[in-house]
A = this chain, B = another copy of it.
Amino acid sequence: MKPTEQGMHCVIAEDVEIGRNVILGHHVIIHPHVIIEDNVVIGDGVILGKTPSKSKTSTLKTGDLMPLKIGQGTVVGAQVILYRGSTIGPESFIADQAVVRERCQLGTRVVIGQRSTVENDCQIGDYTKLQTAVYLTATTIVEDHVFIAPMVTTTNDPYVARTEARHAAMQGPIIHRGARIGGGAVLLPGVHIGQEALVAAGAVVTRDVPPYRLVMGVPARVVRQVPEEQWLFLPDGQPME
């Protein structure tokens, strides 16, 4: 199917599936192996289905990639780059200049903020919001209903690019359901941020954060419980009220 509406100077490969009522802006580039579901809106200057181009010294492996799939009703801002091999869930919002690399799985109604980067092999749950200029390192796991404030940094390499042991040890943070990360915080490799936990702005998290706890400082320490009126869910998973 052709886009219902399409701007000027677009480039659309032949091997692309486009649903009903899809709107493309100007200067959109769609590479092969892209599936766009119904009611999707794509902004100006967006690049869809990019294939990873490795540096000669990269240690990443890129096998055969599935198509990029963009779920129904999702809105993609301007100058965004979405790689082949990822799935963007329905009714999501990918803001201007964001980049989602290959083999990521994004759920329903996810928000990826402007200029944010989601590196390869990340998982992001339903209703999770990344704000502006968030950096999710490769293999980060973010569960449902998580909120990540602007300019948060994550890391995944406890050996900081040295020794062979690092390849086995590489793991991004695991951010559990309903957790919140404040602006400018830094999360070290593999830390767990517990359910409904809150990391204060500017904190550097060097070890696991227990559920329902507020941590702050460098390195981050537990200072108190998250007030119950800010919870979304009870520890047993039932929604509040």
Which residues of A pack against B, CB within 8 Å? 7-9, 11, 25-27, 29, 41, 43-45, 47, 50, 53-58, 73, 75, 77-79, 81, 91-93, 95-97, 99, 109, 111, 114-115, 117, 119, 127, 129, 132-133, 135, 137, 147, 149-151, 153-155, 157, 159-163, 180, 182-184, 186, 188, 198, 201-202, 204, 217-218, 229-230, 232
Contacts and interface: CB of A to CB of B under 8 A. Distances in A.
A186 B43 CA distance: 31
B47 A45 contact: yes
Main secondary structure of the interface of A (DSSP, over half): loop
Given A155-B182, A184-B204, A201-B155, A230 B162 contact: yes
A56 B93 CA distance: 7
Copies in the complex: 3
Contacts of A75: 53-56
A25 B144 CA distance: 37
A100 to B, nearest CB: 11
Contact of A153 (B79, B114, B184): B184
Interface centre among A25, A115, A162 (most CB of B within 10 A): A162
A185 B51 CA distance: 31
21 contacts: A11-B26, A27-B45, A54-B75, A54-B93, A55-B109, A99-B114, A114-B117, A117-B133, A132-B135, A135-B150, A135-B183, A149-B157, A153-B183, A153-B201, A155-B201, A162-B232, A163-B229, A163-B230, A184-B186, A217-B218, A218-B218
